[in-house]
Amino acid sequence: MSPPSAITVLTHGQPADTHGAVRRLLQVSAGAGVEVHLPLEEAEKHDIEPHPGVVVGIEAPGNVDLAVVLGGDGTILKALRLVTGRQIPVFAFNFGAIGFLSTVDHGQIEDGLKRAMSGDFDVIALPALSVVADGQRRLAVNDISFHRRPGKRVAELAYSVEGEQLGRVRCDGLVASTPVGSTGYNLANGGPVLAWGVEGFVVSFIAPHTLTARSLVVAPDHTLRVLNLSDRDEVDVTTDGHTVCALACRAHLDLRFEDDQALLAQLPGATFYHRLREKFGRLAN
């Protein structure tokens, strides 16, 4: 990659954890002649005033070449959603628990900043899932999920692909995950892990009340339709964990696979399988 001329920065909700790293980032970027565009929230969080080389109040992504994240997978997902559809890579330092999407761990701050400012990293194009909710197209890098509401009856969802109804399941919900998201909610549901680069997405169920519900991998050019069969209870719909709408009784939504929607930075030679072993193998020790 070419060295960036301007970057934006996003950090997670514990500024004390990232304060020192942000200060070091500003020093390294100044030395490299890279302009930093800070959203007002980030500037206030880290008590940073505008000064030469640092512009405050430009909301991400702005006119930048790179988004630098200091946080966990939630913050990284936020950054990926912000740059969706733009050719802006996300270079992430893991300041979370797992950091499956991170480029480097927070202990590698010096090497990571050097690589970020010099463009010494590879990028992988990530797909997303799309849904039109309340007239607005929404994209999810991880997953789109359907949940019964707290205190309400078990959801009854029907699902079909390309017009062929494949089943109806009484459950707490349904999750459609990209390969990137397959190691999240889908994995907790017992769904399969999809390697990055696999074309397609996986459907799994949250606490199904049947022995016959099975996960399904859907081809990338096929549309998944989810129907709420209930006559009395709506179902909440979320994209990457954020509620975006309610699926009314007897209503349906269509989900589609969208290729190459975001760019994630990774170290040269890094592979999905190495990432899987390092992140999930570490938790088993």
Distance between CA atoms of residues 83 and 43, nearest Å: 20
Spatial contact of 262 and 83, defined as CB atoms under 8 Å apart? yes
Asked if pLDDT for residue 133 goes beyond 60, the answer is: yes
**Phi/psi of residue 55, each to 5°?**
-110, 125
Distance between CA atoms of residues 145 and 58, nearest Å: 32
Distance between CA atoms of residues 229 and 250, nearest Å: 5
Asked if pLDDT for residue 284 goes beyond 70, the answer is: no
Tell me, what's the pLDDT at 261? 93
Average pLDDT over residues 109-135: 93
Average pLDDT over residues 114-127: 94
Q: What is the separation, in whole angstroms, between the first and last Cα of the chain?
A: 36
Count, residues in the chain: 285
CATH topology of domain 6-121+267-284: Rossmann fold (3.40.50)
pLDDT tens digits, one per residue of 28-68: 999 999 999 999 999 999 999 999 999 998 887 888 999 99
Higher pLDDT, 71 or 271: 71
Per cent of the chain over pLDDT 90 is 72
The residues of the chain that CATH labels 2.60.200.30 are 128-260
Tell me, what's the pLDDT at 285? 47
HSE at residue 173, side-chain half, CA atoms within 13 A, is: 23
| Domain 128-260 falls under CATH 2.60.200.30 | yes
Confidence of residue 282 (pLDDT cuts 50, 70, 90): low
73 annotated active-site: yes
Report pTM: 0.88
Spatial contact of 205 and 173, defined as CB atoms under 8 Å apart? yes
Q: Which of 208, 2, 215 lies closest to 120 in space, CA to CA?
A: 2
Average pLDDT over residues 70-96: 92
Asked if pLDDT for residue 235 goes beyond 80, the answer is: yes
Higher pLDDT, 226 or 100: 226
Spatial contact of 225 and 253, defined as CB atoms under 8 Å apart? yes
Catalytic residue among 65, 73, 143, 240: 73
The residues of the chain that CATH labels 3.40.50.10330 are 6-121+267-284
Mean pLDDT of the chain, nearest integer: 91
